[in-house]
Structure formats: C-alpha cells, structure tokens
C-alpha cells in the first residue's frame, strides 16, 4: 500500500508539474499574445471584461496549477526529508508501542530515489543501536521497523537461553580480534502484560496492556520481564517472556556458520526487535541490504491507545517526543 501511494504521489506531482510549466511558459503567453493581436487589429481597445475573459485560465488548469505547489512540497518532504509511519505491532516494545506514529529521517542514510531506493547522495551510515525502517527483504511491499544490531562484517551471536546478544566487529574469515562490549542490567518484571486468547483454529490473539506491578493480571496473561541493553553508546530497554524459548528450528541458518551465529555480509545489516520473544527479525529471515533502508526513526508525533487490529481507545499524549 505504501509503495502504491508513493507511485501515485510521484505520478500526480509529475503531471501537475508539467501542466504548471505549460501554463506558466506557454498557454498564458499565448493568451496574452491573442489579446495584443486583437488590440492591434481593432482601433478601439477591447473592453476590460472581454480582456479578462480571454486571459482567464480554464477552470481545470486553475485547479491543477493551484495544487501543484502543495503536491510538490509534500513530495519533497516525504521523499527526501521526513516520512510518517504507524507502528502496527508490538515487536519494538517497550521503545515503540502499537499505535505510535513516528517520523522517519529519510536523509539519515543517504538521499535516495523514492521509488527504486537507489542512493543518489550519501549523507551518513547506519550505526549500531539505530531504529531503522526498511523494506522487508522477503516482500518489498512491506515496511518493517527494527533496531540495528550488526553492521557489515560483524559476527553476531544470540543465546536463546540467557537472551543476550554478542557482537564481534571486523570479522575476517571468521576470525574476530575483539568483542563489542554489550552491557545488561538485571532482569526485572515490567508493567507490560501480554495476553493470549486462543481461537478454535489453534491461532491466538495477542494483546499488550500496561498493568502496574501491584495489580492482578488476567488469567490468560503473563507479565513480561525487562532489562536494559547497551550497544556502542546506545542504551534501551528490551522485553522477554519468562520461560519462553525461541523457535530455534526457524532460525536462519547461514552457510558455513554455527547455529545461532551470523556474520553480516558487506552492504547488509542485522536487525532485531526490542520485544525479543515477539519479533520476527534477522534471527529468522537473515540480513537487510543497505538499499532496503528507508530511514532512521527519530520522533513520536502522535500516539493512540490501541491494540493490534483494533480501533483506538484514546490518545497517549505523554509519549509524544523524541525517541532517543
């Protein structure tokens, strides 16, 4: 849907822009020349009302010319500066909640062609700890948002028992000379509770609710645990489900690497969600090519209190502000 909107915006802006140029540099000139020619062939100057009628823009041209500057401004801002996105799932909780509306810095990782995502001008590079929006490698029509954990050349390993990440930079032929310091705080109960409502077809509806630690949780719910994770100079909170284990059989198995270990290829990135036990990320489907990166998430500009697939129940004004 997002790709269709970009394509429609591009085509509409192009068409209205062509009409704007034709009106400014051709059609309006022709109308003025017509008035001048009639004045020359007539001894008496044309009545002002008649001149205005000849010089008047056709209504469809008037409307098209008036909306072009607006479309052009929206196109430039959305394509090269900032683009709004909605958080549809809980994979980045507690950093980003379902119903958060964020602005993504489109020039953080380079100015790109908005349709092909080809980099036109390099303005920066992704850093470990950045929250990035990108095209899902297995379906480019979908936009995903995750945290960048591994850069090109990094050797990333994940322990599904302790649920801790290890990153070894500058890996060459599987030989890494040092580990990146990954700091973790103590694991504590969080105020977020995950509920499971099982349906007849063995599927489940998942919900996330903020319930204070001193309050009773629903029978079908489980209180998530939280801890701080630090990578490079970035510290953030992650969530885990007590006693839950990853679907190890679904892990992406990189050729030549041990199970649960991934060496990030050149021009690619390893992404993970902050809600570790509720995130389909690089552990399961592999790496994100650099050309798939859309931009860096920077600001929450609106937040609605809602669950996945449900209508909002209110507004969370206290969440509006910078993500970092």
The pTM for the full model equals 0.84
pLDDT at residue number 308: 86
pLDDT at residue number 228: 97
Q: Mean pLDDT in each 10-residue stretch from start to end of the chain (324 residues)?
A: 74 92 87 72 58 70 90 90 93 96 95 84 93 96 96 94 90 60 93 83 79 91 96 94 88 92 96 96 97 96 91 93 86
Point out which residues pair with 2 in neighbouring strands. Answer: none
Active centre residues (catalytic)? 91, 146
Please report the sign of the dihedral spanned by the C-alpha atoms of residue 284, residue 162, residue 168, residue 144. Answer: positive
Roughly what angle, to the nearest 10 degrees, separates helices 59-76 and 2-22?
Answer: 130
pLDDT at residue number 219: 86
Rg of the chain in Å (alpha carbons): 27
pLDDT at residue number 321: 94
How far, in Å, CA of 204 to CA of 200, rounded?
A: 9
List the 164-168 sheet strands across, edge first: 164-168, 155-159, 261-263
């Amino acid at each position: 849907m997002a790709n269709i909107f970009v394509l429609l915006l591009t085509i509409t802006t192009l068409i209205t822009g062509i009409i704007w140029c034709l009106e400014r540099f051709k059609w309006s000139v022709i109308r003025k020349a017509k008035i001048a020619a009639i004045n020359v062939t007539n001894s008496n100057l044309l009545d002002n009302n008649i001149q205005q009628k000849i010089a008047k823009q056709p209504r469809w041209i008037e409307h098209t010319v008036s909306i072009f500057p607006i479309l052009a401004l929206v196109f430039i801002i959305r394509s090269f500066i900032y683009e709004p996105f909605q958080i549809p799932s809980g994979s980045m909780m507690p950093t980003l909640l379902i119903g958060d509306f964020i602005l993504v810095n489109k020039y953080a990782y380079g100015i790109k062609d908005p349709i092909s995502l080809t980099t036109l001008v390099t303005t920066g590079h992704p850093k470990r700890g950045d929250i990035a929006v990108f095209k899902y490698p297995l379906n480019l029509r979908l936009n995903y948002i995750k945290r960048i954990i591994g850069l090109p050349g990094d050797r990333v390993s994940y322990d599904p028992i302790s649920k801790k990440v290890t990153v070894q930079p500058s890996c060459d032929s599987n030989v890494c000379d040092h580990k990146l310091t990954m700091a973790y705080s103590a694991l504590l109960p969080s105020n977020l509770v995950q509920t499971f409502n099982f349906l007849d077809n063995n599927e489940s509806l998942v919900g996330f609710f903020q319930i204070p630690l001193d309050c009773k949780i629903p029978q079908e719910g489980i209180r998530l645990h939280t801890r701080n994770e630090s990578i490079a100079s970035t510290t953030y909170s992650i969530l885990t489900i007590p006693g839950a284990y990853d679907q190890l059989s679904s892990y992406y198995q990189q050729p030549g690497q041990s199970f649960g270990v991934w060496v990030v290829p050149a021009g690619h990135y390893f992404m993970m969600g902050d809600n570790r036990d509720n995130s389909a990320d690089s552990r399961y489907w592999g790496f994100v090519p650099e050309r798939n990166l859309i931009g860096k998430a920077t600001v929450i500009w609106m937040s609605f209190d809602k669950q996945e697939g449900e209508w909002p129940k209110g507004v969370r004004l206290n969440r509006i502000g910078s993500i970092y």
